Structure 1
Amino acid sequence: MNGRSKEIMIEAGVQCIPGYHGSNQESGFLRSEASAIGFPVLIKAVKGGGGKGMRIAMTADVFDDQLKSAKSEAMSSFGDSVMLVEKYITTPRHIEVQIFADKHGGCVALGERDCSVQRRHQKILEESPAPNLDESVRQDLWEKARTAALAVGYEGAGTVEFIFDNESGEFFFMEMNTRLQVEHPVTEMVTGEDLVHWQIIVAEGGKLPLSQEEIEARIGERGWAIEARIYAENPEMGFTPDSGRLIHMQTPSITGTVRVDAGFIMGDELSSHYDPMIAKLIVRGPNRTTAIQKLHSALEQYEIAGLVTNIEFLKAVCNHPSFVAAEVETGFITKHSEKLFAERPTTPEVYAQAALGLLFMEAAASQENGGAPFDILQSGFVAVAQQRSLGFLPNRTLSSSETDEKSVTVDLLATGLYDVTIGGTPITYRSVASSWDPETHKVTSFFPHTRLETRVIDVEKGNLTLFQQGQQFRLRCATPQWVEKALGIKDTAHSVLTPMPCKILRVEIKAGDRVTKDQVLVVIESMKMETVIRSPQDGVISRVVHQQGDLCKAGTALVEFEELVKPK
């Protein structure tokens, strides 16, 4: 929002956040404006959107670095680096109003959406109506949104965005997006209207299909809607984007109250050059509690393998007591990170199903190549004992208490009958009847205490993704040390690796430099988002492997150390 836009809103009686929105972009001047506003401040690209080109400066000391980063990302994403600086509200909610205006003077608000659950300044959950909002505030928001649109003679679909201060109960005009938003299906769910059709009607010069009174009546009848954005990203690594092929994908059952808007199908490739959103999952219920339950159930049906996604994280948000109680703000994820990222134990049955599934797949491959059937001579089994041992590790990026390799031993007893022993505990499941469906990649096993059906996807050379009882588990086959030595697998302990496929934007160090823990080494870009790679600890750089402009795969060494010095 530029200075003139702010003036128009204030003249129209719409309150704005204190800030600087002028043309002077000199860093020293912007820093002085930020100081006058009072830290913390929000630095944001004027032409920004989707959280790109946006940074928070908590103090004057970090302002210049944050400004530089925001400008670089904005130029890369929008071809423009003009910034605005505004007061940053510490406990805000992000509430926006969907408006429509026609050329006949008609302007309506189709309800509001709460988009407060965000990461990296981008929304991942949106709902309508906004919870825990006084009706008088709700009506005032709608009125101010319509006033903002009428003040500029707007026509068509638009989204008027507000920051709501949880502490004071005040709301401030933030910006107006002159388009339908990603989350517009939430509004379609609670109004029962096709907003794209509305756009066509207005573009052809027609009048709005419904009056404000008719819209409000519909919203009152249709209950609550929530949208979850399904992203190819790793929440455990700061929501860094992932890319690659959708090896397996199953979407929830579509009904009148469950909708999936997807841009990809199974087998498609997600490029590192675009936004990592795979799909939008939208549900509707008669009230918020039912809508959350329906969303969680749909997420349990959603299966994606080949890419790391945020689906398990979204389930954790749905289950969090504060989200259920609608105690939301834009800092929700940071505030509740300990519980949201809590380690989820991998049960012994998961390891058992992983081993059985992998052996069934090996047997199928052996038969295709002219080998013996699984139950006569198991591929990989010792011929006399007919036994096979495998090792697995949780394929997690966070530090995990499950660091010890889990060994699984499978003994073939008879046709379709096995003893399965999980090392470490130990636990032995006797006489497990198990079968494999090659079409669905499902292992069905009858354990002494339960029946389990597990889909086992071998994503790549022993990197397994399992779907069991509405949960996803990622395991990798442990490689024996002698194999690593035989194959010459390189020790990467003294290297800093790329967390995702990326392009190198800036290299801040050179060979021979002595660096300290958390010092900036390299700045990378993936899916239009900048990520700063910092030194894991003190050390001396021996080699800078990649330079500005290079394209790198995930796991590529960026920087090598000649020595690492542990902090005292």
Structure 2
Amino acid sequence: MIQSLLIANRGEIACRIIRTAREMGVRTVAVYSDADAKALHVRMADEAVHIGPSPAVESYLVGDKIIAAAKETGAEAIHPGYGFLSENADFAQAVINAGLIWVGPKPDSIRAMGLKDAAKTLMAEAGVPVTPGYLGEDQSPARLRQEADAIGYPVLIKAVAGGGGKGMRKVDAATDFEDALDSCKREAASSFGNDVVLLEKWIESPRHIEVQVFGDSHGNVVHLFERDCSLQRRHQKVIEEAPAPGMDEATREAVCGAAVRAAQAVNYEAAGTIEFIADASEGLRADRIWFMEMNTRLQVEHPVTEEITGQDLVEWQLRVASGEPLPKKQSELSITGWAMEARLYAEDPAKGFLPSVGRLEHFHLGDDGRIETGVEEGDAISPFYDPMIAKLVASGESRDEAIDELAAILDGVEVWPVRTNANFLFNALLDEDFIAARIDTGFIERNLDQLVGSAEPDDSVRRGAAMVALAVDEDEPLSGLSGFRLNAAPQSSVALGFGGQAARVAAADGDIADISGFRDGERVVVFHEGSAFEFALTSRGVAGVSAGDGAILAPMPGKVTAVEVAAGDAVVKGQRLLTLEAMKMEHSLTAPFDGTVAELNATAGAQVQVDAVLARIEKRDD
């Protein structure tokens, strides 16, 4: 068994690996960048090595530094976690060449599955179903029509040089094919100078089904059943669950069996995931589920598989890397109950899901379920890395129980002042279509507006905030950032400000939302269904401004890269005023209405903090 392990990663996955290694008596070594010098994974490990500046390209992505750290500390093995270098075959080979143990698949397996077209060919040869399609040199209309008929309608005609939705046509029936092909080729030639097309089976109600596989160096390969990861936003998974709703035993056996054949085809060792796309327009059927790709690493969503199988996949990884056979045979693995995971991100859905960074002044994720995180209260969310704060995992005997538990966990999320997507996740879980398992990969986009919800507190939340303020006034030990839960009747009213508007609120005058919160000096912060709301105690003076009065606020900390107006300029609604660079992205800030630049506080090159007033637009008198 491996005795010492270096984790070539950070955040929650590094903490996750350290926890299992510690239980197994394995010594752990962390690596860290400048930004992570005081991070939780550094504090948890037995030893830690600094590997460079904050940008990942200068630290976590520099394989030579990581191997040198392992050598320096006497670590026997390197676990890559996920992301960063986890699927880099050259790094895996460099680790092996350095005389270290690579906790992952063989480099050749990573390469074989990293080339998507070659992987599909390999899978087809192994008897794994792949998405029907045609990509051939014969571009004659007769051949393309013949291939489309063979694939079955609806079919997608797609320009090989396409992009941005151009050069694509969905064809619902054979009688429409020729006209659609002519139109598609004309647009492709005009837009890209290339009218070559390919054909793909159109997936009516796509669901993302993936199967956890595991192989060892003794030729054994097993599956640990499937997960459903259909809830996605911009191809990023949001909520995952296991098993997949609507999966009958016959379909499960067919899909999981195909996944095992896929792993065997590349002599796979270690943890891996075979991803499938399913046409769920008539439910999950074995003849409508096709191979997409393989992830040759541990997945972010692996906890839901652990919850339904009772297995520790990191322990499996370490045992297999040590040369041991798989801990369980296929016949010894079974599904018990249901599990669901939500990814809690530091982002603001009300501002287009912009990342939110800063210090976690107040951070409490409750005591229920399984919480996987790499931060604690007082830590900072850095602008240099993925903004995932935690994975919230719930389980139950049934899917409904798992939903209820996860919704309760999200309802209890208390994070401030960093913004999160907790309310967005809460709303998704309680959507009637999600509860009924009427889901596909387009679910989030179709329902985005109602899932994002309102950034404004309703009256019951305002009354709850008043009650928090009044309770703290009567019980001074609750002052500061300590938490508070409603449990007593209010005695009076208090003046509260929100978004630049102030009003006196009587806590007893109507329903009060089930909230938690705290008062910190001149402000009250309350949490409800995953949302966080900040109120000013206006009896001591209203502070703050809002975009409603023409103020242009910085949506997040960043650097002003361009200022395109001057004080006194006339502007029209939607006109770009300045550009802010943050989280390696540029964000244009525009005029909210026609008016005049009454105030300008931004200069090119300046660093600004979140909610800083960069400019103010005064409405033009008509």
TM range (shorter): 0.5 to 0.7
Per-residue deviation at 1:156? 0.9
Question: CA contact under 8 A between 1:245 and 1:270: conserved in structure 2?
Answer: yes
Matched ranges for 1:160-559 at <5 A? 160-167=274-281, 170-215=288-333, 218-219=334-335, 222-254=336-368, 258-343=369-454, 346=457, 350-355=461-466, 357-358=468-469, 390-393=495-498, 405-408=502-505, 421=506, 455-458=516-519, 461-462=522-523, 464-467=524-527, 474-477=533-536, 496-502=552-558, 510=564, 526-527=582-583, 530=585, 533=588, 535=590, 545=602, 551-556=607-612
Unpaired segments ≥5 residues, structure 2: 1-113, 136-158, 172-185, 193-198, 480-490
Tell me, what secondary structure is at the counterpart of 2:332? helix
Residues 184/389 of structure 1: CA separation in 2 closer, same or farther (3 Å cut): closer
Moved more, 281-290 or 345-354: 345-354
Distance in 2, Cα, partners of 1:60 & 1:404:
52
Tell me, what secondary structure is at the counterpart of 1:328? coil
Matched ranges for 1:29-44 at <5 A? 30-31=161-162, 38=169
Distance in 1, Cα, partners of 2:266 & 2:550:
58
Question: CA contact under 8 A between 2:478 and 2:518: conserved in structure 1?
Answer: no
Paired position in structure 1 for 2:229: 115
Distance in 1, Cα, partners of 2:594 & 2:458:
39
Distance in 1, Cα, partners of 2:537 & 2:417:
19
Question: CA contact under 8 A between 2:580 and 2:586: conserved in structure 1?
Answer: yes
Residues 387/144 of structure 1: CA separation in 2 closer, same or farther (3 Å cut): closer
Residues 521/390 of structure 1: CA separation in 2 closer, same or farther (3 Å cut): closer
Paired position in structure 2 for 1:144: 258
Matched ranges for 1:126-141 at <5 A? 126-141=240-255
Question: CA contact under 8 A between 1:234 and 1:240: conserved in structure 2?
Answer: yes
Tell me, what secondary structure is at the counterpart of 2:425? helix
Distance in 2, Cα, partners of 1:524 & 1:163:
38
Distance in 2, Cα, partners of 1:306 & 1:344:
14
Per-residue deviation at 1:289? 1.3
Per-residue deviation at 1:475? 3.6
Distance in 2, Cα, partners of 1:38 & 1:182:
34
Per-residue deviation at 1:259? 1.2
1:390 maps to a residue whose letter is A
Residues 13/524 of structure 1: CA separation in 2 closer, same or farther (3 Å cut): farther
Question: CA contact under 8 A between 2:571 and 2:591: conserved in structure 1?
Answer: no
Tell me, what secondary structure is at the counterpart of 2:256? helix
Distance in 1, Cα, partners of 2:447 & 2:164:
33
Paired position in structure 2 for 1:46: none
Distance in 1, Cα, partners of 2:268 & 2:615:
51
Question: CA contact under 8 A between 1:119 and 1:239: conserved in structure 2?
Answer: no
Paired position in structure 1 for 2:271: 157
Q: Does 1:12 align with 2:126?
A: yes
Per-residue deviation at 1:188? 0.3
Question: CA contact under 8 A between 1:227 and 1:280: conserved in structure 2?
Answer: yes
Q: Does 1:106 align with 2:211?
A: no
Greater helix share, structure number: 2
Distance in 1, Cα, partners of 2:503 & 2:296:
54
Moved more, 307-316 or 258-267: 307-316
1:498 maps to a residue whose letter is A
Distance in 1, Cα, partners of 2:525 & 2:427:
19
Question: CA contact under 8 A between 2:307 and 2:395: conserved in structure 1?
Answer: yes
Question: CA contact under 8 A between 1:247 and 1:459: conserved in structure 2?
Answer: no
Per-residue deviation at 1:153? 2.3
Per-residue deviation at 1:187? 0.4
1:289 maps to a residue whose letter is D
1:476 maps to a residue whose letter is F
Distance in 2, Cα, partners of 1:537 & 1:565:
15
Per-residue deviation at 1:527? 4.6
Distance in 2, Cα, partners of 1:4 & 1:541:
58
Question: CA contact under 8 A between 1:113 and 1:128: conserved in structure 2?
Answer: yes
Per-residue deviation at 1:356? 5.0
Aligned residues: CA RMSD:
4.7
Paired position in structure 2 for 1:374: none
1:333 maps to a residue whose letter is I
Tell me, what secondary structure is at the counterpart of 1:266? coil
Distance in 2, Cα, partners of 1:243 & 1:210:
42
Residues 352/284 of structure 1: CA separation in 2 closer, same or farther (3 Å cut): closer
Distance in 2, Cα, partners of 1:472 & 1:537:
25
Distance in 2, Cα, partners of 1:38 & 1:337:
25
Per-residue deviation at 1:14? 3.3
Distance in 2, Cα, partners of 1:404 & 1:539:
22
Per-residue deviation at 1:127? 0.2
TM-score by length of 1: 0.64
Distance in 1, Cα, partners of 2:381 & 2:251:
42
Distance in 2, Cα, partners of 1:459 & 1:482:
15
Residues 212/520 of structure 1: CA separation in 2 closer, same or farther (3 Å cut): farther
Question: CA contact under 8 A between 1:523 and 1:531: conserved in structure 2?
Answer: yes
CA deviation profile, 1:310-362 (whole Å, cap 9, x unmatched): 22222222221111101111221222234424449856564345335436657
1:30 maps to a residue whose letter is A
Question: CA contact under 8 A between 1:496 and 1:557: conserved in structure 2?
Answer: yes
1:553 maps to a residue whose letter is Q
Tell me, what secondary structure is at the counterpart of 2:393? strand
Question: CA contact under 8 A between 2:558 and 2:609: conserved in structure 1?
Answer: yes
Greater strand share, structure number: 1
Distance in 1, Cα, partners of 2:540 & 2:377:
35
Question: CA contact under 8 A between 2:221 and 2:264: conserved in structure 1?
Answer: yes
Residues 493/273 of structure 1: CA separation in 2 closer, same or farther (3 Å cut): farther
CA deviation profile, 1:276-307 (whole Å, cap 9, x unmatched): 21111112111111111222223333322322
Residues 283/357 of structure 1: CA separation in 2 closer, same or farther (3 Å cut): closer
Residues 137/238 of structure 1: CA separation in 2 closer, same or farther (3 Å cut): farther
CA deviation profile, 1:58-105 (whole Å, cap 9, x unmatched): x979x999xxxxxxxxxxxxxxxxxxx998856422211111111222
Question: CA contact under 8 A between 2:339 and 2:402: conserved in structure 1?
Answer: yes
Residues 95/197 of structure 1: CA separation in 2 closer, same or farther (3 Å cut): same
